[in-house]
């Protein structure tokens, strides 16, 4: 708030004129100050999305590496490309959006009284919670895959579908 206060301190414009002028760089408009305050208030929410983007990056990198080490055969002659498993991510979105719209949102409306069902912050929380859960599943799956590979057992690629 101090940035929007006009300072009374004046400086000479030039030695010959003798007039004094305000320091323009020392004053911000109230709108600029309010915009900066809004951005600062958003920083904690933005910082928590680091978890989501970590999961998203993991899905497109580590999961593909996991898939390459698993049995990707589907039938006697077809091998599923490891990079195409992200289709399960898209499929999960296509399944969960209608489930949210038809089941979860109406139930949340009744419980919370909010016409949207869950507030935006509550939706962010649920999304981050599911992202953390996906990371835990990926870690447990990798532990299982490593122990199976040391025993010489080849696991199915569909074992990593839940983390998508």
Which pLDDT tens digit goes with each residue over 95-145? 989 998 999 899 999 998 888 888 888 888 888 888 888 888 888 988 998
User: Structure pTM?
Assistant: 0.62
Q: What is the spatial distance between Cα 163 and Cα 143, in angstroms, rounded to a whole number?
A: 13
For residue range 5-34, list pLDDT tens digits in order: 665 555 555 555 555 555 555 567 778 888
Which of 42, 40, 54, 52 has its CA nearest to residue 3? 40
Which tokens is 64 given?
Answer: 């593909």
């Amino acid at each position: 708030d101090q940035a929007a206060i006009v300072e009374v301190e004046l400086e000479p414009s030039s030695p010959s004129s003798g007039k004094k002028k305000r320091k323009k760089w020392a004053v911000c408009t109230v709108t600029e100050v309010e915009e900066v305050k809004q951005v600062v208030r958003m920083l904690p929410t933005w910082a928590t999305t680091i978890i989501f983007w970590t999961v998203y990056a993991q899905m497109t990198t580590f999961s593909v590496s996991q898939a390459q080490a698993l049995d990707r055969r589907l039938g006697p002659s077809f091998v599923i490309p490891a990079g195409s498993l992200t289709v399960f991510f898209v499929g999960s979105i296509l399944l969960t959006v209608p489930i949210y719209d038809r089941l979860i949102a109406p139930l949340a409306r009744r419980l919370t009284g909010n016409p949207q069902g869950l507030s935006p912050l509550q939706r962010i929380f649920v999304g981050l919670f599911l992202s953390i859960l996906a990371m835990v599943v990926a870690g447990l799956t990798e532990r299982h895959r490593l122990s199976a590979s040391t025993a010489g057992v080849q696991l199915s690629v569909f074992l990593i579908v839940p983390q998508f």
